[in-house]
Amino acid sequence: MSDHLFCYGTLLESQIMRLVTGKEYTMQDATLPGYSRYLVKGADYPGVVQNPQGEAEGKLCLGVTSSDLKKLDRFEGELYRRQLVRVKAPYNRTVNAWCYVVPRRSSMRLSKKEWSLEEYRVKILRRHNLSIEP
């Protein structure tokens, strides 16, 4: 099995990860080949689906325990299925990691718009009437 998690959406925000698991993690830049990341229709968060030509950007979260995964499973809900994937990690390594993937049967719940962490941050700041730091 793996003690790594590939994060590509709201779990990239350390505050959200801390709220869900109660922990801080070491994160490394990583990509998920063979998948694309799209905005979930009617939501602010994304999902990844298999796409042979795709490559989703994200972070590799290190040291995730089985207890952490149970908490994350509840947070992610029924749209996603946790599965092992092969992730491109720093230093030209390829590692196994858990990832929350939208199964093909649920892919119609995704828009065709790619999700952006920066756009998400701006939207959340506006929603809570917070200013954007220069």
Q: How far apart are CA 60 and CA 99, in angstroms?
A: 10
Provide mean pLDDT across the span 67-84. Answer: 96
**How high is the mean pLDDT of the chain?**
92
pLDDT at 133 over 60: no
Show Cβ contacts of residue 101 under 8 Å, excluding neighbours closer than 6 positions. 35, 47, 48, 49, 50, 80, 81, 82, 83, 85
Domains along the chain? 4-127 (3.10.490.10)
| pLDDT, tens digit (0-9, with 9 covering 90-100), for 14-43 | 889 999 999 999 999 999 999 999 999 999
Quote the pLDDT of residue 123.
83
Mean pLDDT is lowest, of 51-55, 114-118, 122-126, for 122-126
